[in-house]
Amino acid sequence: MPRPRTQISPHLDYADLTQRYVQCQDAGEKNRWLVIRLLSHPKTPMSIEQTAEICGLSCSGVRKIARRYNAEGAVGLVNRQRLNPGGNRLALSDEQQRLLRQRLYQVRMNTHN
């Protein structure tokens, strides 16, 4: 028995979804906007399977994006790594890096002599 069609919550209208898709610069985020656009087309919404094929995702991946959008709205589609830049910070300051390089150089020189 086929699954019922996935319903998309009307957080944004189709014109707003299209605008967000067109203006999005992040590739992963843009693909998530496309998923929601395809699933929420006002006249001919696509199935999970069709959307997955077009977007290069698995059916479960498309369902996950739809659930996140339904629960969180537009915020659910945002690239969360961009919202948490802490992972991009270096563990050592410039001075600590300089000292580490200096110490590693000294150790290297001592092992070759």
Residue 106 or residue 15, greater confidence: 15
Note whether residue 93 is domain-resident.
no
Burial class (CB in 10 A: 0-12, 13-18, 19+), 30: middle
pLDDT at 71 over 70: yes
Say if residues 7 and 47 touch (Cβ distance below 8 Å): no
Q: Report yes or no on 95 lying in a domain.
A: no
pLDDT digits 0-9 by tens, 22-67: 999 999 999 999 999 999 999 999 999 999 999 999 999 999 999 9
How many structural domains does the chain have? 1
Looking up tokens 């200096």 gives 102
pLDDT at 97 over 70: yes
- Domain for residue 21, yes or no? yes
Domain coverage including residue 14: 1-84
Tell me whether residue 69 is in a domain.
yes
Lowest mean pLDDT among 52-61, 64-73, 88-97: 88-97
Dihedral (Cα; 43, 70, 35, 45), 10-degree rounding: -20
The whole-model pTM stands at: 0.71
Tell whether 36 is covered by a domain.
yes
